[in-house]
Amino acid sequence: MPFVTTTVGVPEAVHTPSVAPAETAAETAAGAGLADPDPLQPVSLLWPPGRVHSPGPQRVEAATLADLDVREAIRILSGSDPNRDAFVTAILAELGDAELILYRQDVLEAILEDQQLRRGLSEIGTLIADVVQLRSGQGRATWSMTVIARRLMELEGYVRIATQLRDELARASGWLGRSRALRLLHAHLAALTGTAAFRALQEELPVLRATLDKVRSVTIGINLTRDLSPDSATILSISAERVEGRNPLLDRLFGRGSAEKALSPLHDVDLGNPGNVLNRDLQKLLGAVVNPVANALGRHTHVNAQSLDHLEREIHFLLHAVALTRRLEQAGLPTCRPEIALESERVTLLTDAYNVGLALRSPEAPEEHGIITNTVTFDGTLGRVWILTGPNRGGKTTYTRAVGQAHLLFQAGLRVCARSARLSPITSIYSHFPTPESEQLGMGKLDEEAQRFAEIFRVALPSSLILLNEVLAGTSAIEALGLATDAVRALRLLGTRAIYTTHLHELPARAEEINASTPGDSRVGSLVAGAELDADADTNGHAGQAGQAGHRRTFRIQPGPPQHVSYASEIAEQHGISFAQLQRLFEKRGVLPPGPVP
């Protein structure tokens, strides 16, 4: 099947949008947090002040995320680290409001455009990860001196992270006026590193490090008996130099090479074994060095070195959001920062839109895979409730998914897969895609679909997005048409944005009747997945046979009347299961005698 993007028609509506509402929405979002918080309070790069620094309760169900085919996008945003999948998934499922979207858009644009800032953040993210890993090992350290050394390293990392990130943001000062997140983080770090406590820590750490660096190796002397068996041992010296591994014996005997090199390989040793007499002696000797360090660190117990930990996963997410954007653009596909429209407008307007799931599965240039981009228009004039019909495998499901994907990316504060976009935030997405029949006793496919319909309408709001794909297939066409008509009327009455993909071609034919008979401001319209008559090809794409013409799917989805055909016969031909093909198969197998095809 060709590699295809998702499209919806009427470009004029997107090329001439009303600018004022978008500006109002941006101003509203920018003014949501008028007063900056206490600069000493931790700052998040993903959540504005006063918001929780982690994803809130998911507002998009796992089943809907699966329906929308965002697995590959999640993989890239998580850096192919399964341990980060849950964090990324929760961000996409959160459906941020205008304030959160703007907050993230601004910081992402800075990182996208400033290569040096990207490199600096990448290095700082690695530093934080190293400190977090160091701290995670403290619980396994049973030797008190090891705990002290690790605490010193933790505080050194904390100071380096705070000062280096502060200086990096100061260098990128041009972005501080354009990104509230970066401005607040810089103010926080400047205030933090300017406190007397931080400066005292910063001044004392090098002294403490120099003290501990005096202890890098211990020389142990072992006495042997006449038969060369170990007899007794003692600690000979403590050195600031590390010993190295094996050194050739002749080099040692004739004075060649370093005196710190050993005669044998280095071996691991459990220095935390309290039953080892030498270890006890060693702790006493090292106490004179380590105890003053421990006492000094005790003056800094109030320092919360974990206060910057949350930035690591946030930086990681933002850097991989850049990677996602770059990968799409390098493939020749457009991405854009959407304008934020008011929620009350309930608009979804995109030009040159495409399906991110399909795009990420293509390793090569899009034109080589027949990628088609078009316009998506959901508004109060042309339509908010679209009934989508067309040939099988004509791009209907691709389209339905792409609309949902655009909102997930937009409301995560990321760029969307389109050349331009203007979107009103939604508060929820509900999907209903084909599923296997229920195994519950007494519950068939129609029962499940009716139950799912009821669940959606019990919670959906005018600000929701509802995606229905090939539902009500578990009953007769006549019954399904009646149920589907009621569902579409309810969507118009609710005022939501919705897509109803169906093979019931009579349903979009009733669109004007539904608009006239049902109150509401969400106009019902008909979308059609296009197919062109190809008189020179049969349904398998070969030269025509017996005058039978085929169709070429354009994968363009545009407003228009239903075509009342799904081209199922062409799919049967492609798989070799048309009646004529099966008759010839039986004849070839000798099951039937040769004869004319009726």
Band (pLDDT 50/70/90 cuts) for residue 33 is low
Closest of 409, 411, 387, 410 to residue 399, by C-alpha: 387
First vs last C-alpha separation in the chain: 31
What does the pLDDT look like over 468-501, one tens digit per residue? Answer: 988 776 556 677 788 888 889 999 999 999 999 9
Residue 169 and residue 190 in one domain: yes
**Residue 505, token pair as written in the block:** 């071609």
pLDDT the model gives residue 260: 55
Residue 161 and residue 309 in one domain: yes
Residues 181 and 165 sit within 8 Å (Cβ to Cβ) = no
**575-580 mean pLDDT:** 60
Residue 189 and residue 141 in one domain: yes
**Residue 275, token pair as written in the block:** 């039953």
Q: Is residue 84 part of a domain?
A: yes
Q: Which amino acid is at 518?
A: T
Band (pLDDT 50/70/90 cuts) for residue 435 is low
Residue 56 and residue 183 in one domain: yes
Q: Which helix (H) or strand (E) holds 375?
A: strand 374-378
Q: Is residue 366 part of a domain?
A: no
Residue 269 and residue 325 in one domain: no
Q: Which amino acid is at 515?
A: N
pLDDT the model gives residue 434: 75
The rounded distance, in Å, linking the Cα atoms of 264 and 279 is 21
Residue 443 phi/psi, 5-degree rounding, is -120, 110
Q: Is residue 269 part of a domain?
A: yes
Q: What share of the chain is helix, strand, coil (3-state, %, to 5)?
A: 50, 15, 35
Residue 174 and residue 285 in one domain: no
Per DSSP (E only), the strands in 178-293 are 217-224, 230-239, 244-246, 261-262
Mean pLDDT of the chain: 80
Band (pLDDT 50/70/90 cuts) for residue 443 is very low
Residue listed under structure tokens 């530093």:
127
Q: Is residue 343 part of a domain?
A: no
Residue 221 and residue 204 in one domain: no
Q: Is residue 283 part of a domain?
A: yes
Does pLDDT of 2 surpass 80?
A: no
Chain length of the chain: 598
**521-526 mean pLDDT:** 94
pLDDT the model gives residue 162: 96
What does the pLDDT look like over 324-366, one tens digit per residue? Answer: 999 999 989 999 999 999 999 999 999 999 999 999 987 554 4
Does pLDDT of 550 surpass 80?
A: no
Domain that holds residue 593: 567-598
Residue 221 and residue 311 in one domain: no
Q: Which helix (H) or strand (E) holds 341?
A: none
- CA–CA distances in Å: residue 262 to residues 220, 239, 266, 585: 12, 14, 8, 80
Count of C-beta atoms within a 10 Å radius of residue 367 = 10
Query: Which 8-state DSSP code applies to residue 396?
Result: H
Residues 27 and 98 sit within 8 Å (Cβ to Cβ) = no
pLDDT the model gives residue 118: 96
Q: Is residue 144 part of a domain?
A: yes
Instruction: Provide the number of structural domains found in the chain.
Output: 3
**498-517 mean pLDDT:** 91
Q: Is the pTM of this model over 0.85?
A: no
The rounded distance, in Å, linking the Cα atoms of 154 and 364 is 44
Does pLDDT of 544 surpass 50?
A: no
Q: Is residue 497 part of a domain?
A: no
Greater pLDDT, 322 or 26: 322
DSSP of 257-279: S-TTEESS------TT-TT-HHH
Domain end point (choices 337, 359, 390): 337
**14-23 mean pLDDT:** 40
Residue 62 and residue 198 in one domain: yes
pLDDT the model gives residue 94: 94
Residue 88 and residue 171 in one domain: yes
Portion of the chain with pLDDT greater than 90, in percent: 45
Band (pLDDT 50/70/90 cuts) for residue 101 is very high
Residue 164 and residue 290 in one domain: no
What does the pLDDT look like over 190-225, one tens digit per residue? Answer: 999 999 999 999 999 999 888 888 877 888 888 888
The rounded distance, in Å, linking the Cα atoms of 422 and 26 is 12
What does the pLDDT look like over 246-259, one tens digit per residue? Answer: 555 444 444 545 44
Residue 201 and residue 152 in one domain: yes
Q: Is residue 396 part of a domain?
A: no
